[in-house]
Structures are given as structure tokens and as C-alpha cells.
Amino acid sequence: MYRIERDSMGEMKVPSDRYWAAQTQRSLQNFEIGGERMPTEIIRAFGLLKKAAALANNALGKLDDRRKDIICQVCDEIADGELDDHFPLVVWQTGSGTQSNMNANEVIAGRGNELAGEKLLHPNDHVNMSQSSNDTFPTAMHIAAVTSVEENLLPSLDALIVTLARLEKENKDAIKTGRTHLQDATPITFGQEISGWRAMAEKGRDMIIQSLGGLRELALGGTAVGTGLNAPKGFDAEVARQVSALTGRQFITAPNKFHALTSKDELVFAHGALKALAANMMKMANDVRWLASGPRCGLGEITIPENEPGSSIMPGKVNPTQCEAVTMVAVQVMANDVAVGFAASQGNFELNVFMPVCIYNFLQSVRLLADSISSFNKNCLSGLKADRAKMRENLDRSLMTVTGLSPYIGYDNAAKTAKTAFAENISLREACLKLGFLSAEDFDRLFRPEEMI
């Protein structure tokens, strides 16, 4: 059931069916905290960066071909998710991520030695060659952040924008009452209202893309404190080139490794863009559920798909559940932004020691936004329909269309018309005629809601 592994602190019992060694086992025993495991995105990123480091070390004459090839083979297995069961560590560990770096080193060495049929690889001497946990973990953070945004979040946003553009076009001539302060306002087309949603999604996408620039800088090559001790000259640039080639994404070596190790401002900046998107999604989802409220006693200006029963006690009730999921995700992302900011502020001297919690929250935000936007688009927005008859009914009852008469009868008289219509429960036309501000003929000529948009 167990084998004995040794490190600088002595012997440890390690499960015989696992590739990790003593340091990973120590972490398992010393940090029995929570159930949040190191994100799989970080594990995949470690597979990529360890392969890139082996290729760079080989190119620079430090690592022989056989060891390089075996390290690369195992790293491919890690990147493909074949060794996920061998990465058991929790987020709540050392703040530098040292134990996760060693987990990767030990698994690569253990699996590599199995493939080689001999003790060919040492986790520190070969797998961790020219590296430190202090530069590998922030490198994994940046690789994981860029990859998860580009592979998952941006495609979800693109699909959302396509749906919104279609809805905008379909409803370009659906005139309805606008609303400000949750009160009636001047007319707007539903297409114009949707164009605001579309622009929010597009702006969110643009801000996220702009924020990725700093995340493309890799700390690898700074080693322990940013000086690059024990890394060969040119290793930092070569390893960034290798990471770019392996991922098909642009990465560069960080120009200042002292900054790269101790500051997480790029993640704060990028998460700020995620928070901005979350705020926009909160607004969009709330608009949809307000407009769909009813079916008889709410606004009822749109219908959305009925996906499941809404109540265990009220038969026939259907709720805007997709909107609720999006708004809950928005709350979580906003909370995560606080954690990312606090974590980034803890860069003491030459190292930030809140990195695991920082990237855990960042990646959770990306994952939740991508999934919730995709679900919202597929299960709600794609089936959204305007109830034009209800929109017209509400528009005809609105008092704020009186604004179109202000240029002809003046602000004060327009206000008196609206107040009279409301107090006596009559139409604006009836109130305006009763007060003698316009003749019936002039009112009908001047009062054109369709020209107020």
C-alpha cells in the first residue's frame, strides 16, 4: 500500500499507486484545510511550463536529450489531464505555491522514472532545473489566466453578442416606453434597449482583451528572488518562446523579474475587467427578468423560455431562473475581486505569498462567467420574444410621452397635463384638451410617440 520516499527532512510514507513523493505527502498531511483543490487550469499550466523549461534547458546545453524527452512526454500527459489524480493539494497551502510546484516536479520525476525503467530524473535537479517555485507558480498563474479567458470566456461572450445583435435587429421597430429610476420615461425601441445590452457585452469583451497584455509576461527566469540565480543566460527569453510555441498564444519574459515575483497587479487589473463584465451581466439579467415579470401582474413586455417549474407549492408558476443564476455569479465575481485585490496587496519584500488564493478566485470568476453567460444565452436570451401588444399598451398609458409636447406648450404646462391625466385617470390627450393647451387637431398632429425615438 505504501512506499518510503525521502527528502531533506527525512522519510515519508507515500501511497504506492501515486507518482508524488515526500514533499507532496507532507503538504497533504500538514494542510488538511477545506476541500478546494488547486485548479486544474494551474495543473495544466504546470505541465506546459515544465515542458517549456526542459526544452529551454536542452537548447541551452544544460539538460540531455533523453531526460528532456521523458520530461516532455510526462508533461504532455499532465496537459492532457491523464495524471489529474496525482495532484491532490489544496489551495490553502504555502502562499508561494511551493508545494504545488514540487507536486509537479515529483509527479514528472516519478512517472518519468517509470517510463525510463530507472531512476533517471530527480524532481529538483532535473525537472526543476533553472527554476524556483517563486517564478514557476506566478508563471503558471499567467498561463492559466490567459488560456482560460481565451479558450472559455471570450467564446461565450462572442456567442452572446451574436444573439443580442439578432434580437436587436428583430426588434428595431418595436416601440415601448423607456424607464429611468424604475419610473416611466420617454419612448424607446426595444431594439435600442437591446443595443445597450450588446454594447455592454462588447465593451466587456474589449476591456478583458486589453487587460491580458500584462498577463502575457512570464516570471520564469527570475528564480528565487528575481536575480535569476542558477538559471543560464537567456533562459527566461527562451522559455517564454517555448511556452508561446506550445500554447499557440503570445507570451514574453517579464522585463523586471523583481516586479514579476512580488506584484500581482496584472491579475488585479484583469480581474477588474471581469468585475466590469459581471456588473454588466447583473444589469442585463435584471432587465430581462423585470421586463418578463408577470405573467399578468408585472410588466410582461417580453416572454422568456419556460425551463422548469418555479414553485413546489404554487402550480403553474415559472421563474426567471437563468437570470437568477447570472446575478448570483455576478455577486460571486464581485466578492472574488475583493479577495484578488487583498491577495495582491501582500507582496512583502521579494515575494507575494498569497498567490494560490489569488489565482483560485481569478479562475473561478472566469469559469463562472463563461458558464453562466453560455447558459443564459442558450436557455434564456435565444428564446426571448417581445410582446408588442403589451409594449404598445404600456406606451399608450405612459405619462412621460408628454415630454414631446414641451417644445409646443412649455415645460410647466406639459407637467400640468401629466399630473392632471394621472390624478383624473384620463389620457394625456384628454387632459391637454381639458386644460386648453392644444386643440384636438394640433394634439394629434404633434403627439407622435414613434417620432420620439
Instruction: Render pLDDT for 176-201 as a digit per residue (tens, 0 to 9).
Output: 999 999 999 999 999 999 999 999 99
> Backbone dihedral region of 181: left (phi > 0), alpha (psi from -120 to 50 degrees) or beta?
left
Domains and CATH numbers, the chain: 2-129 (1.10.275.10), 152-227+245-389 (1.20.200.10), 399-451 (1.10.40.30)
| Mean pLDDT confidence for 92-98 | 97
**How many CA atoms, within 13 angstroms, populate the side-chain half-sphere of residue 322?**
24
Report the pLDDT value the prediction gives residue 97, as an integer from 0 to 100: 97
Please report, to the nearest 10 degrees, the dihedral formed by the alpha carbons of residues 425, 427, 432, 434 taken in order: -60
What residues contact 433, with CB distance under 8 A and at least 6 apart? 439, 440, 443
Q: pLDDT above 90 covers what percent of the chain?
A: 99
- Predicted model pTM: 0.96
E-strand stretches of 157-280: 175-180, 183-189, 217-218, 252-253
Residue 374 above 90 pLDDT? Answer: yes
Instruction: Render pLDDT for 140-167 as a digit per residue (tens, 0 to 9).
Output: 999 999 999 999 999 999 999 999 999 9
In the chain, DSSP finds a helix count (H) and a strand count (E) of 17, 10
The cell numbers describing 314, all together, are: 404554487
Quickly state the pLDDT bin for 380 (edges 50, 70, 90).
Answer: very high
Residue 42 above 90 pLDDT? Answer: yes
Please report, to the nearest 10 degrees, the dihedral formed by the alpha carbons of residues 295, 300, 306, 308 taken in order: -50
Hey, which residues does 37 pair with through a beta bridge? Answer: 90
Residue 27 above 90 pLDDT? Answer: yes
Q: Note if 122 is an active site residue.
A: no
Instruction: Render pLDDT for 334-367 as a digit per residue (tens, 0 to 9).
Output: 999 999 999 999 989 999 999 999 999 999 999 9
What residues contact 205, with CB distance under 8 A and at least 6 apart? 154, 157, 158, 161, 277
In 3D space, the residue among 368, 287, 370, 359 whose CA is nearest the CA of residue 334 turns out to be 368
Residue 323 above 90 pLDDT? Answer: yes
Quickly state the pLDDT bin for 111 (edges 50, 70, 90).
Answer: very high
Are 221 and 253 a contacting pair, CB within 8 Å? yes
8, 16, 181, 312: which is the annotated catalytic residue?
181
Q: Note if 156 is an active site residue.
A: no
Can you tell me the distance from the alpha carbon of 439 to that of 340, in angstroms, rounded to the nearest whole number? Answer: 64
| Mean pLDDT confidence for 268-278 | 98
| Mean pLDDT confidence for 34-63 | 98
Residue 448 above 90 pLDDT? Answer: yes
Can you tell me the distance from the alpha carbon of 431 to that of 435, in angstroms, rounded to the nearest whole number? Answer: 6
What residues contact 218, with CB distance under 8 A and at least 6 apart? 139, 142, 143, 236, 239, 240, 243, 251, 252, 253, 254, 260
Instruction: Render pLDDT for 389-447 as a digit per residue (tens, 0 to 9).
Output: 999 999 999 999 999 999 999 999 999 999 999 999 999 999 999 999 999 999 999 99
| Mean pLDDT confidence for 218-240 | 98
Mean pLDDT of the chain: 97
Residue 387 above 90 pLDDT? Answer: yes
Q: pLDDT above 70 covers what percent of the chain?
A: 100
Report the pLDDT value the prediction gives residue 185, as an integer from 0 to 100: 96
311, 312, 375, 406: which is the annotated catalytic residue?
311
